[in-house]
Amino acid sequence: MHPSLRYLPFALLFAATAAGARPPEPEPDNLLNDRFGLQASVGYAASSTRVRFDADDGRLGTELDLEDDLAIPKNKIVGRGEVWFRMRERHRARISSYYLPLDRRATAQLAQTINFGNDTFVVNELVESQLEFRLLALSYSYSFLKNDRFEAAASVGFDVIGFEAKATVPARLRTVREDRSGPAPLGGLEGTARISSRWYAEGRFQYLSVKIDEVEGSLQAFELNALYRLNPNVTFGLGYSTFRIEIDSLDPGDSGVFDLKTGGPQLFARVGF
């Protein structure tokens, strides 16, 4: 035997020992343990909007499907920013708002006579319409179940909602505007599950139904996402979200209907620490 071959078994044993002692590939930190997070999302929202604004004297307005009757675009790219922080292990606060709002506008020739508030727009008039929508959401959540694989929480908070509908007839230099705004308290449930070292799933549901005097309203928001943890601080996600607000007022002098449904896929990036 060649003298150098006598050392071959020892070399192989040393190599095997070194390979076994090699530290494993580092895994990203658990998303469920982040104390602070920033998220920016971009979504494709398909919307359906129904409105009716009555006259001050109680005369019923025309119920309109804004997308069909006034050619308001059904689809819109929207963007939402969100920041949240964990005060303690089971306590979190969240603030979110649109940075690309759900504002839409169009110009259309009327196929029917429309009563809009105290004004009337007659058939064949050219009308410029605009709908602006604003949303600021604040919530607090408590995790009643939390471990390294799963977190489930109940939330309370309120959404500050504002919308404005405007119709203009350039030929008559006439503009009519209706707007509403105010806070809406709501409760919900949310959860996050760790599927693997890098993959997560999360869902969120919020709901409100209330009747005060002659005004009845409801709000629903739902979100379901899949997330990929690129490294300990950066996460990317793909999901689907829906939102609906419905207000039906019989209040004399301020009656009408506003019903907005919107939803679609979203992409987002999240930075957490």
Q: All domains of the chain, ordered by start, with CATH?
A: 35-272 (2.40.128.90)
Task: State the Cα–Cα distance between residues 45 and 206, nearest whole angstrom.
Answer: 18
Given phi > 0 = left and psi -120 to 50 = alpha, else beta, which region is 173?
left
| Chain centroid offset of residue 223 CA | 7
Q: State residue 131's pLDDT score.
A: 94
Q: Amino acid identity of 77?
A: I
Per-block average pLDDT, block size 10, for the chain (273 residues)? 50 50 62 95 96 91 94 96 95 95 95 92 95 94 96 95 91 88 90 96 94 88 97 96 93 89 97 94
pLDDT at residue number 22: 52
Question: What is the predicted pLDDT for the residue at 173?
Answer: 87
Which residues have a Cβ under 8 Å from the Cβ of 71 and sit 6 or more positions away? 106, 107, 108, 129
Radius of gyration of the chain (CA): 27
Q: For residue 20, what pLDDT is reported? A: 52
From first CA to last CA, the distance across the chain in angstroms is 60
- 13, exposed or middle or buried, with CB in 10 Å at 0-12, 13-18, 19+? exposed
